[in-house]
Amino acid sequence: MPPPAAAPQKTATILLAEDTPTNVVTLMDYLDYLGYRLLFAEDGLAAVKIAAAQQPDLILMDIQMPRKNGLEAIAEIRQIPALQHVPIVALTALAMPGDEVRCLRVGADAYLTKPVHLKTLGATIARLLTTPPYPDAPSDDRMLE
């Protein structure tokens, strides 16, 4: 008799808020490879609207975006009761002294500077989702700009 099938695991949904097209393609491809369901927002304003409507399991938030920057979007998302505990990873290219503290104070759970190593990003996501790291993830050392 075959062993019982494992219970299906819920696929985590990640909202990517990013305005740089090359970063969007790279991140979407990598996260898709890891098996996540993906949502996309081209700026902070769209990120807040999509997060409120779709309630993702995790949010990747670029900090410097048009219309509403990532800090403003994170702060607004944290005011939505259903999203108060959704992990948010702040991503930024212009890392200045104090940026990490500002991101964490407005509600980010993690802070990564660009260029981001994809393996580091994948491990951060896995840690925040409290799932084991993905052993079959590609050993991809590409970096985002």
Q: What is the pLDDT of residues 63-81, one digit of tens each?
A: 999 889 999 999 999 999 9
Q: What's the domain range around 50?
A: 13-128
Q: Report the chain's terminal Cα–Cα distance, integer Å.
A: 52
pLDDT, mean of residues 23-47: 96
Establish if 113 belongs to a structural domain. Answer: yes
Local confidence band at 9 (pLDDT 50, 70, 90 cut-offs):
low
Establish if 4 belongs to a structural domain. Answer: no
pLDDT at 94: 72
Structure tokens at 39: 């949502």
In the chain, at which residue ranges do the beta strands (DSSP E only) sit?
Answer: 13-17, 37-41, 58-62, 88-92, 110-113
Establish if 141 belongs to a structural domain. Answer: no
Put simply, whether the predicted model's pTM sits higher than 0.75 gets the answer yes
> Domain tally for the chain?
1
Say how far apart CA 111 and CA 90 lie, in whole Å: 5
CA distances 81 to 42, 77, 84, Å, are: 23, 9, 5
pLDDT at 143: 54
At 37, which CATH number? 3.40.50.2300
Establish if 53 belongs to a structural domain. Answer: yes
